[in-house]
Amino acid sequence: MPVARPETSDSRIIAHVDMDCFYVQVEQRKQPHLRGQPTAVVQYNSWKGGGLIAVGYEARKDGVKRSMRGDEAKKVCPQIHLVQVPVARSKADLTIYRNAGSEVVSILSRKGRCERASIDEVYLDLTDAAEAMLKETPLESLESIHEEVLKSHVLGLTLNGNNDKEIVREWLTRRDADHRDKLLACGAIIVAELRLQVLKETEFTCSAGVAHNKMLAKLASGMNKPAQQTIVTLSSVKGLLEPLPIKKMKQLGGKLGSSLQTDLGVNTVGDLLQFSVEKLQDLYGANTGTWLWNIARGVSGDEVEGRLLPKSHCSGKTFPGVQALKSIAAVEKWLKELCEELSERLQLDLETNKRVAHTLTLHANAYKSTDTDSHKKFPSKSCPLRYGAGKILEDSVNLFQAALREFLGSYTNPADCGWGITNLSVSASKIVAVPSGTSTITKYFHGQDRFQPSLEPSDEKLAPEDDTLSPSTSHQTECGGQQTQITHDTSTFDQNETTCKDDVCLTSKHHEPQPRLSQKESNINDGKRSYEHKRKATKEKGTSSILRFLQTNSCSSSKQETICLSSGVQEGLNIESEALTESQNARRANTWRYNADEIDQSVVEELPPEIQEEVRTWLRPQKQANTVKRGSSIAHYFSPNRN
């Protein structure tokens, strides 16, 4: 569900940068003879010439659309060049596009906080940079303004087609302009510079929206493409939003948007303005109601998250029409490919970025040939992630089987019931940085032996962050013609045979807001209760109980000596300072710190021998030096008598 965050300030300067026909540009850079030529990238499946996943602007002029297949595109534009997406493991391999996206991100992140939102989209918080610029040079005294800035589209500014650049120059340099508009002007200058730099260093063009919040910036970035930028002034917000179809708003493309249309007759954002916040809260709950009321007025307090790397990784493939997978053996065969790819990417992320993922999720779309309820959703299932392709496969197969049982109904034997899988994917999420000083113990805690493959993965599914809380977005599916097309979790820059473009995430905050469904809510609550119950039941079992201790308890917070079980191998004993910096605090959240004196030996003895040895090595010197008396609640967790 969306969280209604009040604007921290309406003077923030946020940009949304979106690459133009991204995959096409990447292919054109690789094959320069394609530059200026009508070009499209087609998916791996070559049926009817393959589905188009990216269309260059030259081809768009001739009427080629992404919804077409290659054969149709050739009819509309006979000279079109169709480039097939690279292939590995009999499926699309998006590595070159991901890497190209990273090149762009590294440039855009030079001027402010940067959030990589999808394979080709980035949000930037340029507030500080804009304020600094304004302080240094009053805009009215700017001597020269780059052509690229003058080409900006300023919403609400009337142009006449003759001296448009002069009109924009005047707007940018108005002495009597509102402070917020001045900041926007600075933002526009900075974004234009960044876009030029991207072009210079990568040869890619991009478009951008500059506004006071993320929502408005994103709406604006697509308004004038390719290679242009659009500025949303405060006074233009009402005119921009009012006529906008409600389903075009981010997070309103699915069930909540449909509910607004059918239940309230709301077709445009303007239609939403007639409802009081109380009414919307009454209908959709306090948070969603407030969020709806706010977005109708262009208010959104969402922060730009400082994140240059993907939030999750996903490997998937579609199996349209007759290609649907109809046996567990066929599913396992493909899961093997997907898990190997996911594992490679996780390993690369670990080596390159020193990050580890914690949650494995299996998603699928399926049908039942014998069932009247053929629209029943195939449930997504999650469990803790263990590193290694074999383990990921083993767990994925378990997750699949649990999901299939649920999909078919507990009493149905999969062999007796006709079913087919039309897309399948595995994703790794909850990715966090491995703190420095990592050694064996970190490997252990981060997955090597951590998860006993569960015969009941559905229990894990009931974790609060699970997709079932908002089923429609963690893995959105679009069906076009005979092709089932998956637009999935792109914060992951995912791999999929067909398409991978959206910016929904596995975390609930990015999920599609759901209409309030009391039965569903009660099911979820039941699920949470059951999850809690299961956690309690398993708490005392052998090694896993230790892991739970180590993972679920944060460190003691006061000024004292601590051992950092994951990060502090060489740091060993930490004397924490009272004033932690933000990054220290963030890092602390990813570590497990315990007072040496408070670690119960019986707990240590439950660890595997090599880990025991390592822990003891740490404990010895710590204990000698560790003379501070403490009695924190951590002791309770390590006490054999704890309940």
The footprint of ligand DCP (CB under 6 A) covers 18-23, 53-54, 119-120, 225-226, 487, 499-501
CA distance 70 to 54: 11
Is 242 tagged catalytic? no
Q: How far is the CB of 535 from ligand DCP (least distance, A)?
A: 38
The angle, 0 to 180 degrees and rounded to 10, between the axes of the packed helices 179-202 and 127-136 is 110
**Least Å distance between CB 130 and ligand DCP?**
25
- Number of C-beta neighbours around residue 138 at 10 A: 11
**CB of residue 335 to ligand DCP, shortest distance in Å:** 22
Rounded least distance, CB 376 to ligand DCP, Å: 25
In the complex, least distance from residue 306 CB atom to ligand DCP, rounded to whole angstroms: 22
Helix (H, G, I), strand (E, B) or coil at 562: strand
Residue 421, φ and ψ in degrees, nearest 5: -105, 125
Residue 301, judged by CB atoms within 10 A of its CB (0-12, 13-18, 19+), counts as middle
Count of other CB atoms within 10 angstroms of residue 492: 27
Q: Give the phi and the psi of residue 17 in degrees, each rounded to 5.
A: -110, 130
Quote the longest CA-to-CA distance of the chain. Answer: 82
Report the residue number, 211 or 500, with the smaller CB distance to ligand DCP: 500
Residue 244 structure tokens: 């906008």
CA 284 to chain centre: 24
Q: How far is the CB of 60 from ligand DCP (least distance, A)?
A: 8
- How far is it, in rounded angstroms, from Cα 212 to Cα 7? 9
CA distance 515 to 260: 9
**Measured from the CB atom, is 226 or 414 closer to ligand DCP?**
226
Which of 243, 245, 270, 233 has its CA nearest to residue 156? 233
User: What does the block give as tokens for 405?
Assistant: 């049982």
Distance between CA atoms of 397 and 334, rounded to whole angstroms? Answer: 10
Minimum distance of ligand DCP from residue 69's CB (angstroms): 13
Which one, 23 or 419, has the nearer CB to ligand DCP? 23
Q: Give me the phi and psi of 77, to 5 degrees please.
A: -140, 85
Shortest Å, Cβ 53 to ligand DCP: 4
Token pair of 137 as six digits: 């040079």
- Least distance from ligand DCP to the Cβ atom of residue 20, Å: 4
Could you give the CA distance from residue 112 to residue 422 in angstroms, rounded to a whole number? 42
Mention every residue, 6+ apart, whose C-beta is less than 8 A from residue 421: 319, 324, 325, 326, 331, 364, 365, 366, 378
- The CA angle 426-121-44, to the nearest 5 degrees, is 50
**How many CA atoms, within 13 angstroms, populate the side-chain half-sphere of residue 405?**
13
Supply the minimum distance, in Å, between the C-beta of residue 205 and ligand DCP. 9
CB of 12 to ligand DCP, least distance (A): 24
Please give the single-letter amino acid code of residue 455: L
Sheet with 229-231, edge to edge strand ranges: 113-118, 121-125, 14-19, 206-211, 229-231, 153-154
Identify whether the C-beta of residue 16 lies closer than 8 Å to the C-beta of residue 250.
no
Name the minimum Å distance from CB 234 to ligand DCP: 26
Sheet holding 593-594, edge to edge: 573-575, 561-564, 593-594
What span, in angstroms and rounded, lies between the C-alpha atoms of 334 and 91? 10
Contacts of residue 582, Cβ cutoff 8 Å, sequence gap at least 6 = none
Calculate the CA 20 to chain-centre distance.
20
> Tokens 């855009």 appear where?
108
Task: Using alpha carbons, list the distances in angstroms from residue 512 to 171, 499, 519, 524.
Answer: 38, 19, 18, 16
Using CA atoms, how far residue 536 sits from 451, 539, 541, 634, in Å, is 16, 5, 10, 18
Catalytic residue among 27, 121, 460, 576: 121
Nearer to ligand DCP, 202 or 294 (CB): 202
Q: Is the Cβ of residue 107 or residue 264 nearer to ligand DCP in the bound state?
A: 107
**What Cα–Cα distance (Å) separates residue 101 from each residue in 194, 228, 309, 529?**
15, 19, 10, 42
Closest to ligand DCP by CB, 120 vs 349, is 120
The residue at minimum Cβ distance from ligand DCP is 499
**CB 511, CB 254: distance < 8 Å:** no
Residues identified as active-site: 121
